[in-house]
């Protein structure tokens, strides 16, 4: 009899311990609990970056690849979505403070320690916009020394510019034309950024004396959903949704709409230069 009672007692401990673990998991992810309670997820986005997050001319409806991917994620989560527009340099701070629940960004070692990142929603690499007539005097990455590079202060692209000796000229949450016009008029020499974004942005300003550098492709990157470090339940849900969106072709369809038929949800086939010391 004692053995039976002891066995039952042990079984109860195991069952109760299991229940306790589930409860801890539910309590731990207060981000998802809050989203579920409100029925709304708040997403930080630029609103000024074509074709990722922008307003089409004559429209007050925010759209773009990042925006529509976020909308689809919210839809599959079963919640409404609200966008908060802000400069890139403010996004991680807004995420950390709880002002927003989610942003889309490239993971870096320092940010990985503070935030959780999903599986990639976009693959790309960096290139540079230079003046058409002389490539701004840049033939190699080493030629960035002494040049002026337009960009946000905390991006990996500005880190690349600094690594090779360029002076970074920083901007607030401005539209693409401000960056591109400054290369055109000589206020800056170069803009280093995402290949797909720059290749489309440059097409919108044929009057500018600017071009994509024909030879330099470097620093492979991914764009991921970034969350609070403790948003474990939400991260698992979003990773499942991203896998579904890749499997059913939704990411490919959204990409084709905003990137001229190209599929940014798959890794590029081009040879891309790795830069030592840059995450």
Residue 265 belongs to some domain of the structure: no
Per the confidence metrics, is the pTM higher than 0.85?
no
pLDDT in tens, 246-269: 999 999 999 999 999 999 999 988
Question: Is 66 in the same domain as 198?
Answer: no
Domain boundary among 202, 219, 236: 219
pLDDT in tens, 139-179: 999 999 999 999 988 888 999 999 999 999 998 878 889 99
Residue 137 belongs to some domain of the structure: yes
pLDDT in tens, 197-225: 899 888 889 999 999 999 999 999 999 99
Question: Is 95 in the same domain as 208?
Answer: no
Question: Is 214 in the same domain as 253?
Answer: no
* Whole-number Å distance between alpha carbons of 66 and 49: 10
Question: Is 117 in the same domain as 164?
Answer: no
Question: Is 116 in the same domain as 181?
Answer: no
Question: Is 189 in the same domain as 227?
Answer: no
Residue 34 belongs to some domain of the structure: yes
Q: Which domain holds residue 135?
A: 125-219
pLDDT above 70 as % of the chain: 90
Question: Is 48 in the same domain as 98?
Answer: yes
pLDDT of residue 65: 97
Query: Into how many domains does the chain fold?
Result: 2
Residue 271 belongs to some domain of the structure: no
Question: Is 50 in the same domain as 88?
Answer: yes
Residue 165 sits in a domain whose CATH number is 3.40.190.10
Residue 84 belongs to some domain of the structure: yes
């Amino acid at each position: 009899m004692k053995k039976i009672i002891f066995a039952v007692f042990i079984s109860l401990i195991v069952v109760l311990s299991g229940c306790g673990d589930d409860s801890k998991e539910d309590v731990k992810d207060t981000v998802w609990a809050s989203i579920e309670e409100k029925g709304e997820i708040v997403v930080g986005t630029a609103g000024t970056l074509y074709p990722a997050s922008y307003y089409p001319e004559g429209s007050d409806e925010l759209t773009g690849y990042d925006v529509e991917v976020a909308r689809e994620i919210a839809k599959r989560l079963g919640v409404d979505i609200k966008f908060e527009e802000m400069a890139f340099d403010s996004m991680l701070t807004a995420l950390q403070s709880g002002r927003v629940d989610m942003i889309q960004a490239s993971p870096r070692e320092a940010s990985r320690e503070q935030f959780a990142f999903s599986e990639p929603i976009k693959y790309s690499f960096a290139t540079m916009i230079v003046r058409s007539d002389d490539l701004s005097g840049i033939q190699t990455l080493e030629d960035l020394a002494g040049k002026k590079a337009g960009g946000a202060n905390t991006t990996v692209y500005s880190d690349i510019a600094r690594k090779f000796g360029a002076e970074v000229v920083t901007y607030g949450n401005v539209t693409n034309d401000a960056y591109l016009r400054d290369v055109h008029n000589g206020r800056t020499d170069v803009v280093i950024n995402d290949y797909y974004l720059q290749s489309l942005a440059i097409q919108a300003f044929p009057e500018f004396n600017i071009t994509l550098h024909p030879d330099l492709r470097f620093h492979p990157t991914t764009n991921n959903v970034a969350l609070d470090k403790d948003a474990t339940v939400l991260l698992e849900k979003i990773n499942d949704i991203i896998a579904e969106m890749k499997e059913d072709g939704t990411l490919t369809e959204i990409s084709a709409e905003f990137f001229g038929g190209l599929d940014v949800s798959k890794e590029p086939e081009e040879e891309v230069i790795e830069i030592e010391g840059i995450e």
